[in-house]
Structure 1
Amino acid sequence: MNAIPDETLLSALSIPGTHESLSLHGGPLLKRQVWTLDTQLKLGIRYFDMHVGIWLFNQKHISVSDSHWLFGQKIHFDEALGIFVNFLNVHRSETVLVKVTLHGLYKRKVREFMMNLIEKYRNNIWMKLSVPNMQQARGKIVLLQSDTFSIGTNNHDSYFFENGKLINVEVKIRNIKSQLCGHYIVLTNSAASAYRSPNTRAQKVNKQIYSFVDQHKKSSTNQGCIGVLSMDFPSVELIKNIIEIKPCNCKHQLEQHLHLTSQHLGQTGTQLKHHLDQSQKQQIEQHLGQSWKEELRQHLHQTLASLGLILNQ
């Protein structure tokens, strides 16, 4: 990420990620990944989907599990945070996005644990609702909101996938581009449906993603406006292919936003000028009386000329 300009919004990047990032255990219906957290980071994964909770009320650490809360993944969430922080301390130009979903019967206590961890690593975490630019995100974990944990940056589903297939993606990109350029992070979840082999399905889905990314880089008029791609069992080649996508060009959206803002300010200025003109005229007429109308007209002419000059500066 070192070559990405500081002013680039994080939402304007195409980011490879993993779904159920630490589901490495539990059998063929639960296992979603083969690489440890360290390996995923080294290979270029920058979005992580974490499912956490506690099994017993007297637990002292948050456990990481699969999304069905069936099988513990032999790592605590504070360990995972430590891995992220250590990686970012070494690679200061990088950032990682983390979305946390809470599970189990003791969500309230898990939230308390989460807040303690956030306080511990507050200098290493971006937890604001707004989308950071790269200068703000470098060296930090960017938390994304989830249905069960509301702290973090706003994000929404892209709906690129319909019934397991990429449908009308370029049309959808055009529709979401204005929002992607600053309002929220777009997230595409390509995960397998429950009780189907994630590995078998991922092979088909990942081939679709690879072909789409190839075609997108060659011919899209909105290149790079994809957001986060969260995947099961991504290959090294697929990760690299996503990383190579240029950032979304948000310049047009920014210019359009500034134009609309300018128009609004112009209308507001005209209304204000009219209000001041009428108010000043009434005050002067009351003070001078109707017999001094000629002098009043001259005075108003000078006042309005002055107002016009001020408003045009």
Structure 2
Amino acid sequence: MASIPDAQLLSAVTVPGTHNTMALYGGVYAECQSWSLESQLHAGIRFLDIRVRHINGNLTIHHGVSYQRAHFGHVLEGVANFLFRYPSETVLMRLKEEFSETNNIYGTVVDFLQRYGMWELVWHSRLVPTMGEARGKLIILQDFSGPDLGMRYGSLDIADDWKVPTLLDLKAKWRSVFEHLEAAPAGNSQQIFLTFSSGAGVFANPRAVAHYMNPQLHQYLQTKTDSNQRFASSAWTSRLLP
């Protein structure tokens, strides 16, 4: 990201991301990734999808019922280490509560951010930053109730048609992704577009969906030669990136 002009809005930058970034365990229907957080960041992933369970004052990482052998502090440590090493970069993080319904995680999130020395690294504004403002920052896309930490996840233009009942529905899923990617360049320049190419269903696990979708997405991006044209930030399953 070092070569991106400081004046350019982050909403005009196309970044890759991962769905359920920390979902490494739990079987074929729970596992969405095969790379660690560190590996994803070093591979170029800049949008993280983090799901936390609020239990006994802690924030454990979950995908549904499946505990992912980590807590929010592990995520913050990984992001902090990366940003300290590469201060020209920025990381966006969708943060939501999963497998608990306390609707009261704000205070615990703030506690974790302060405890892990991340408070000053967080972008504390609802406005989309420029690249100059975003460098070295964690941009939390807040998908939970409470006072503003920064940007609200609901302020984004999001395509997340994650329900893919069977493999026969993959073409319809790709059509949804394609249409959202195509809409981004003409959309509100001050709004981040987020496209999830991930999905799952009873007869289509996340890996099977990624096996079809990732090559489609790769081929689509290969045809886009205008480096100044924005596309939606895309979240996919990393295990099968071309």
**TM-score computed with the length of structure 1 as normaliser:** 0.66
Using a 3 Å threshold, how does the CA distance of structure 1 residues 123 and 151 change in structure 2: closer, same or farther? Answer: closer
Alpha carbons of structure 1 residues 63 and 78: separation in structure 2 relative to 1, 3 Å: same
Letter in 1 for 2:193: V
Which structure exhibits the higher relative contact order, with contacts defined as CA atoms closer than 8 Å and separated by 6 or more residues? 2
TM-score, normalised on structure 2? 0.83
Distance 1:12 1:6 in 2: 12
Q: Deviations over 1:184-212 (max 9, x none)?
A: 21100111123321111111111111111
> Which structure has the bigger radius of gyration?
1
Choose which of 114, 119, 122 in structure 1 pairs with 2:119. 122
Identity score, percent: 25
Deviation at 1:107, TM superposition (A): 2.6
Which residue among 193, 196, 219 is the counterpart of 2:200?
193
| Alignment correspondent of 2:66 | 71
**Structure 1: gaps spanning 5 or more residues:** 238-313
Q: CA deviation at 1:175?
A: 3.9
Please, which runs of 5 or more residues in structure 2 have no aligned partner? 163-170
State whether structure 2 residue 87 is matched by structure 1 residue 92: yes
Name the residue aligned to 2:158: 157
What residue number does 2:98 align with? 103
- Residue 145 (1) aligns with residue 145 (2): no
Q: What's the offset of the Cα at 1:163? A: 3.0
Residues 127 and 151 of structure 1 are in contact (CA less than 8 Å); yes or no, is this contact kept in structure 2?
yes
CA drift of 1:32 comes to 0.3
Task: Give the number of the structure whose residues are more often helix, by fraction.
Answer: 1
Partner of 2:167: none
CA distance in 1, matches of 2:90, 2:145: 23
Q: How do 1:1-313 residues align onto structure 2 when only pairs under 5 Å count? A: 1-54=1-54, 56=55, 59-66=56-63, 69-120=64-115, 121-146=118-143, 151-153=149-151, 154-158=155-159, 163-166=172-175, 167-168=178-179, 171-176=182-187, 179=188, 181-182=189-190, 184-195=191-202, 196-217=204-225, 224-233=229-238, 235=240, 237=242
* Preserved CA contact (<8 Å) 1:199 1:233: no
Q: Deviations over 1:30-50 (max 9, x none)?
A: 100000111111111110001
Distance 2:87 2:33 in 1: 26
Q: 1:30 to 1:148 in 2, by over 3 A?
A: farther
Task: Compare the two structures and name the one with the higher strand fraction.
Answer: 2
Given the superposition, is the C-alpha separation of residues 6 and 160 from structure 1 closer, same or farther in structure 2, using an over 3 Å criterion? farther
Deviation, 1:115, is: 2.0
Letter in 1 for 2:229: G
Q: Distance in 2 between matches of 1:45 and 1:194?
A: 25
Residues 52-99 of structure 1: per-residue CA shift (max 9 Å, x gap): 113x4xx24210011xx2100000001211110111011111110000
Cα separation, partners in 2 of 1:151 and 1:209, compared to 1, 3 Å:
same
How far apart, CA to CA, are the structure 2 residues paired with 1:148 and 1:64?
18
Q: For residues 94 and 172 of structure 2, what CA distance do their matches in structure 1 show?
A: 24
CA distance in 1 between counterparts of 2:90 and 2:113 reads 16
CA drift at 1:142: 0.7
The whole-number CA distance in structure 1 between the counterparts of 2:217 and 2:127 is 28
The CA distance in 2 between the partners of 1:109 and 1:164, in whole Å, is 34
Report if the CA contact (8 A) 2:93-2:140 is conserved.
Answer: yes
Residue 128 of structure 1: CA displacement?
A: 1.3
Say if 1:145 and 1:155, in contact at 8 Å, map to a contact too. Answer: no
Q: What secondary structure is seen at the aligned counterpart in 1 of 2:65?
A: coil
